Structure 1
Amino acid sequence: MDAFAISRLHLRFAIKLACAVVLALFVGFHFQLETPRWAVLTAALVAAGPAFAAGGEPYSGAIRYRGMLRIIGTFIGCLAALIIITSLIQAPVVMLLVVCIWAGFCTWVSSLVRVENSYAWGLSGYTALIIIISVEHTPLVAPQFAIERCSEIVIGIVCAIVADLLFSPRSIKQEIDKELDSLLVDQYRLMQLCVAHGDREAVDKAWSGLVQRTTALEGMRSNLNMESTRWMRANRRLHAINTLLLTMITQACETFLVQNTRPEAIAPAFRELFAEPVETVADVHKRLKHIRRVFSWIGGGGTPVTLYSWVGAATRYMLIRRGIISNTRISAVEEEILTGETVVRPESAERHHAMVNFWRTTVSCLLGTLFWLWTGWTSGSSAMVMIAVVISLAMRLPNPRMVALDFVYGMLMALPLGSLYFLIILPATQQSMLLLCISLALLAFFIGIEVQKRRLGTLGALAGTINVLVLDNPMTFKFSSFLDSALGQLVGAVLAMMVILLIRDNSRERTGRTLLNQFVSAAISALTTNRARRRENHLPALYQQLFLLLNKFPDDIAKYRLALTLIIAHQRLRDAPIPNNDDLSAYHRQLRHTADRVISAGSDDKRAQRFQQLLDELAIYQEKLRNWDAPRQVTEPVERLTSILNKYKHALTEN
């Protein structure tokens, strides 16, 4: 995209943000809301948040989805605040303690749920805190305050959505269509590298890039699902496309790894089939037709299983890709592909990280409460609210320290910017609603451009400036109140950052080990004769965990290779013709139970003991397979898995 197009999109979103702010301001004053700034602040954050995350104008549906999450989080927070107040109205200190624990609990939950839904839980934590702090001296007005806050927030969200619809939001459909074509070509090139058994670093770079792009495509699917109901068929197909892409990556990498120990596994004739370079989807389609004819002539027995499976997945991919691009009715063949397997959801490996987030939020809120009660500062409540906001929003992001730093810079920028508006611009616009709207529109416009560039401090400056301006009804201009509020915000942001720095998150190594043990457990779970369990598709969950491993350890290629090897082992065992008898079925349950106990072990000693038990049981299982005359397609992958677990025993059991 050229510079002109980028600047045009930046300007369009800046106008959209200014429109949302002005619309919320106008509605707030027109309907005589008690505190119109909550509506204005909500409209600004709902619109600007997705733009800051995307680094540009968000796609259609992102603002609506964030708005719905904010409504849900606000209602949960308001309900929790009312329950806490009615239960503990006679003990104010205990009430503050409980709401601090509630904020920590919400942060803990937000660390375990899907990233796109975590915003609602984080918001519900500090919403309850805001309500209780605001009515701490007059708790009887809490229901009225909660209703007013919900109403103002809903108005702000509606204004943001209306502004988004007025300025023709970007559809992500064209980007998905282009990415589908590009992914198919790159998948074929990865298979070429693996069949040729080329440079290992080139293969690592290619497959890790495809894993990241496949994960990004799944995020695009979520955006398309939020955009409109007319994309429901495309959404179903994209869900299946995700599995097919991951299957192709797995089969290609297995083709490479098999040749490490058995170079003769891929005959020269098959290497020649994949030798011709491809540039477009048409080239891939032409090559696949030729390869399928060769495979049908050779027969399934003479074709390497990884190549045969890869070509089958690529063929199904092309069929579903055409349906996504055209968005036509789902055919019977497509329906069979879409309903063929049950996708398993991944279990969170970040439970220790979530507990660290709980303590960070709870401790920071308690420190803010003690600071407020000890100093008696009138704006101590503002500091406490800012602590809860920063901690709750920062904890789910990969780098909480940078988020806290963004808020600190934002509050510093809000001090002079807010002073300019509070002392000069707003008093001069009191006689004209039009001038007031224009002044705030200019503020939102220029910050909206910088937000899309991810300038450090811009999002915090937008929120901090709007919050310190007295956009109440009627408006008053007491400089002491303004200064107290601005300093309270700054102190709260600084205290929150101090807590993040002092309470270190030491969960990285533990999370990595847990992820690797979950890969082991998934491979063990494939040892089953139960038809329903064999139909379960673990690939999306496994690759989601692999993507988390990539984020946690960006430079540790050994961990990626081990994880990928375990994923390949899972797929091979899942397709293995295991003899169906009661003896093996009972032992499968024992193996799964032991693998789960390895993950849940609380210490290195217990983990090492249970892992050794798992290795001993696998040795017994191999003996049982020999006694029951299991075919080579079963005994070979089990032996390979046992060898891998023995080789990487220390990496899987020690911190």
Structure 2
Amino acid sequence: MGILSIAPQHVRFAFKLATAIVLALFVGFHFNLETPRWAVLTAAIVAAGPAFAAGGEPWSGAIRYRGMLRIIGTFIGSIAALGLIIAMIRAPGLMLLVCCIWAGFCTWISSLVKVENSYAWGLAGYTALIIVITIQTEPLLAPQFAVERCSEIVVGIVCAIVADLLFSPRSIKQQIDRELDALLVDQYRLMQLCVAHGDSEAVDKAWGDLVRRTAALEGMRSNLNMESSRWAWANRRLKALNTLSLTLITQACETFLVQNTRPDSVPDTFRELFAEPVETVKDVHRHLKRMRRVIIWTGERDTPVTVYSWIGAATRYLLLKRGVVGNTRISAIEEEILDQEVVIKPASAERHHAMVNFWRTTVSCTLGALFWLWTGWTSGNGAMVMIAVVTALAMRLPNPRMVALDFVYGMLVALPLGAFYFLVILPSTQQSMLLLCISLAVLAFFIGIEVQKRRLGSLGALAGTINILVLDNPMTFHFSQFLDSALGQLVGALLAFVVILVIRDNSRERTGRTLLNQFVSAAVSAMTTNKARRKENHLPALYQQLFLLLNKFPGDVAKFRLALNLIIAHQRLRTAPVPVNADLSAFHRQLRNTADRVISASNDDKRRRNFQQLLDELAIYQEKLQIWAAPRQVIESVQRLTAMLHKYQHALTDS
């Protein structure tokens, strides 16, 4: 029943993985590489890693992109290793300690960069450690080993990419087209809920789902960008569509919130128009045309700002969506939309989390080195390598403990499976390269199916089994060496798992508070008269931080509402007609500096003092707005922001 229920794409990827491993094995032996095992292991990890992350066959471009990251990480790690060897060749113990710190440093950086790029830095950390450990007995061979390792890894990556291309990788383009249509329909339904001022729980659920789907669409855009350069026009439009989708969510939620204090803020005409049901994008298009005619007849001033902005954003969404579907040349109108604003990248709120990851990697690698030096165990170096691999790959993922546990289970499975291959299969295939390839292809095929199901231990079992098999040139069979290697990687995985359990990650609350304070800082920074600053688009960054908040605190509606209110305040203040003069400009800089000090405060007392100073300055700012005869819209927006900060002062300052 299990075999019969396997989906066709699972079988296709299993063949792809088997082909990648067989190609790497054949090329490694054909060109007499020193250790073909590295090429085979690289091909397996590069191909299977994205499948495990995706829970199925990865989209086109994912394997190629991961391969490029692996090459970059390997070269960075090799250069770092050579630098350490040249500088500290006379102090091997100190060199090993500094290499452990380097591995922790790379993990720290990988925790701060974009998730899709973190793999390169994690790899750079343990590549340097592998080289330094391997040349301990013959340090003069370090340059040769670094070059060999890089060449073997490049061979493995090329084999994985060739296998991916042979088995017609799946394009994500059709799924993006379908999601763009479905997303617009659901955006319209959210606006219907907000205009009708319906149940707040239904609104919370609808906007939460749309935030997640918009974040998922941005991930699809990244996959499409990796797939081929022919999607460059679609990629530019999708970047703008991400902002437009977030704008639609913001304007809809503000429409709902405004009606809490002003129930008659939305005219009956628009209530009737939004009351009509929609099923398809054509229905949305038809209703938008009617609404635009109503705005022309009644005038822009008689249309609520949020409704007017929502209709404009939805119209631009439709225009860009058509361009994405057809992947046509960008028109002059589209170019104007695409060049409208400068998108700002978010600052990381996980600095404490990154520091915890640094200590986890550094401490576990150092303990492994001490264990190796103290016991003198021949496979202690293998344990150290496994520690570095587990900690580097686990730290960036949402649940490092489960990743480490996956490796522990994988090493346990690799021990009997590897022994079977080592004692029975490989000795029987010594006279035939074809039989050797078939035997490894069968192993890769069945593990490839399990990897796509995210079976705990499957990815670790694949890497662990290949690592302990004697796929060197020439092949030798010493059972004591095999057992040492198998136990070494099991001990390394266990030690890494224990360190992750002992050094607890207590950064969740701190990250949540930092995220909320970054929302406050963004709202305060929107109060500016600088034209270039007002053109900066912080919305994608703010919603990226909101998405992180959703992941850190699932189900905490109060935090989500506060964050959403601050995002709405930012958007409202960004478009507010603040009077232009030197006095207000200087005070804007002062407000921004105070808000930045709230984020960077090292303890609760400093944070409370800086936050109180910010509240006092906002009170003074309101007086200045009165003196300079600011429009009512500006004064009311600042008053609402100040009242919100007073209300949630404890949530924003206390640990």
| Deviation for aligned residue 1:268 | 2.6
Normalised by the length of structure 2, the TM-score is: 0.99
Distance 1:567 1:173, change over 3 A: same
Partner of 1:276: 276
Q: Which residue of 1 aligns with 2:632?
A: 632
Amino acid at match of 1:331: S
> d(CA) in 1 for partners of 2:290 and 2:632?
30
Instruction: Choose 293-302 or 493-502, whichever is displaced more.
Output: 293-302
**Structure 2 CA distance for aligned equivalents of residues 549 and 29 of structure 1:** 50
CA distance in 1, matches of 2:7, 2:139: 50
**Cα distance in 2 for residues equivalent to 1:36 and 1:166:** 22
Cα deviation for residue 157 of structure 1 reads 0.1
C-alpha separation between the residues in 2 aligned to 1:50 and 1:391? Answer: 18
Partner secondary structure for residue 170 of structure 2: coil
Work out whether 1:82 is the aligned partner of 2:82.
yes
Q: Distance in 1 between matches of 2:236 and 2:215?
A: 16
What letter is aligned with 2:155? I
Equivalents in 2 of 1:114, 1:5: separation in Å? 36
Distance in 1, Cα, partners of 2:374 & 2:488: 15
The whole-number CA distance in structure 2 between the counterparts of 1:89 and 1:579 is 65
- Match of 1:378, SS state, is coil
Structure 1: how far apart are the matches of 2:87 and 2:558? 54
Aligned to 2:643: 643
Residue correspondence of structure 1 range 394-433 to structure 2 within 5 A? 394-433=394-433
The one-letter amino acid paired with 1:133 is I
1:267 offset after TM fit, Å? 2.7
1:145 aligns with 145
Q: What residue identity is the alignment partner of 1:626?
A: Q
What is the percent sequence identity of the aligned residues? 79
TM-superposed CA distance for 1:510, in Å, is 0.4
Match of 1:263 in 2: 263
**Structure 1 pair 519–137 and aligned structure 2 pair: CA distance change class (3 A):** same
Change (3 A) 1:252 1:5: farther
Per-residue CA distance 1:64-118 (angstroms, 9 max, x = gap): 0000000000000000000000100000100000000000000000000000000
Which residue is 2:20 aligned to? Answer: 20
Q: How far off is 1:261 after superposition?
A: 1.6
How much has 1:419 moved relative to structure 2? Answer: 0.5
C-alpha deviation, 1:297, in angstroms: 1.0
The residue that corresponds to 2:380 in the other structure is 380
Structure 1 CA distance for aligned equivalents of residues 187 and 351 of structure 2: 34
Separation in 2 of the partners of 1:264 and 1:367?
67
What is the CA distance between 1:264 and its match in structure 2?
Answer: 1.6
**1:654 paired residue number:** 654
Within 5 Å, give how 1:444-523 maps onto structure 2: 444-523=444-523
SS in 2 for 1:455: coil
Tell me the amino acid that sits aligned with residue 269 of structure 1: T
Task: Report the counterpart of residue 581 of structure 2 in structure 1.
Answer: 581
Alpha-carbon distance in 2 for matches of 1:633, 1:456 = 56
Following TM superposition, by how much is the alpha carbon of 1:296 offset from its aligned partner in structure 2, in angstroms? 1.3
1:6 Cα deviation after fit: 6.7
Paired position in structure 1 for 2:598: 598
**1:269: how far off?**
2.6
2:567 maps to which residue? Answer: 567
Q: By how many angstroms is 1:556 displaced?
A: 0.8
Q: What one-letter code is carried by the residue in structure 2 that aligns with 1:25?
A: L
In structure 2, the residue matched to 1:122 is 122
Query: Structure 2 CA distance, aligned partners of 1:265 and 1:130?
Result: 66
In the alignment, the residues of structure 1 paired with residue 330 and residue 5 of structure 2 have an alpha-carbon distance, to the nearest angstrom, of 36
C-alpha root-mean-square deviation of aligned residues, in Å? 0.9
Corresponding residue number in structure 2 for 1:538: 538
- Please give the per-residue CA displacement for 1:605-626, whole angstroms capped at 9, x wherever unaligned: 0000000000000000000101
Q: Structure 1 residues 260, 279: closer, same or farther in 2, change over 3 A?
A: same
C-alpha distance in structure 2 between counterparts of 1:640 and 1:298, whole Å? 29
1:271 is displaced (CA, Å) by 1.1
Aligned residue for 1:313? 313
**Cα distance, 1:263 vs. partner?**
1.2
Partner of 1:91: 91
- Output the CA distance in 2 between the equivalents of 1:422 and 1:579: 78
Equivalent-residue separation in structure 2 for 1:404 and 1:175 (angstroms): 33
Q: State the Cα deviation string for residues 46-69 of structure 1 (Å, max 9, x = none).
A: 000000000000000000000000
The aligned residue for residue 347 of structure 1 is 347
Is 1:205–2:205 an aligned residue pair?
Answer: yes
Name the SS for the 1:577 alignment partner: coil
Q: Distance in 2 between matches of 1:376 and 1:282?
A: 72
Q: Which amino acid aligns with 2:290?
A: H
Any idea what SS the aligned residue of 2:7 has?
helix
Q: Does 1:303 align with 2:303?
A: yes
Normalising by structure 1, what TM-score? Answer: 0.99
- Equivalent-residue separation in structure 1 for 2:381 and 2:262 (angstroms): 68
1:328 is matched with: 328
Equivalent residue, structure 2, for 1:231: 231
What amino acid sits opposite 2:301 in the alignment? G
Where does residue 111 of structure 1 map in the other structure?
111
Which residue type is aligned with residue 80 of structure 1?
Answer: A
* SS, match of residue 264 in structure 1: coil
What's the counterpart of residue 390 of structure 2?
A: 390
- Amino acid paired to 1:547: F
Task: Determine whether 1:294 maps to 2:294.
Answer: yes
The aligned residue for residue 441 of structure 1 is 441
Using the alignment, how far apart are the partners of 1:459 and 1:4 within structure 2?
22
* Distance in 2 separating the partners of 1:436 and 1:68: 29
Q: Deviations over 1:369-416 (max 9, x none)?
A: 000011111001111100000000000000000000000000000001
One-letter identity of the residue aligned with 1:64: R
**Residue 591 of structure 1: CA displacement?**
0.4
Distance of aligned partners of 1:423 and 1:6 in 2 relative to their CA distance in 1, 3 Å threshold: closer
CA shift, 1:121, in A, is: 0.1
- When residues 557 and 581 of structure 1 are mapped into structure 2, their CA distance, relative to the original with a 3 A threshold, is same
2:191 aligned with 1:191: yes
Q: 1:583 is paired with a residue of what secondary structure?
A: helix
| Letter matched to residue 430 of structure 2 | Q
Residue in 1 aligned with 2:250? 250
Distance in 2 of aligned mates of 1:268 and 1:296: 16
Output the CA distance in 2 between the equivalents of 1:25 and 1:166: 17
> What is the rounded CA distance, in whole Å, between the counterparts of 1:575 and 1:227 in structure 2?
37
CA distance in 2, matches of 1:300, 1:636: 21
1:5 positional shift: 10
Counterpart secondary structure, 2:58 = coil
Cα drift, residue 4 of structure 1: 8.9
Question: C-alpha distance in 1, partners of 2:462/2:651?
Answer: 46
| Aligned-partner residue type, residue 479 of structure 2 | F
Counterparts of 1:181 and 1:325, CA distance in 2: 10
CA distance in 2, matches of 1:194, 1:137: 70
Say how many residue pairs are matched. Answer: 653
Q: Describe the superposition over 1:401-437 as per-residue Cα deviations: whole angstroms up to 9, x where unpaired.
A: 0000000000000001001100000000000000000
Name structure 1 gaps, 5 residues minimum: none
Q: CA offset at residue 260 of structure 1? A: 1.2
Task: Give the CA deviation at 1:632.
Answer: 1.1
Unaligned runs of 5+ in 2: none
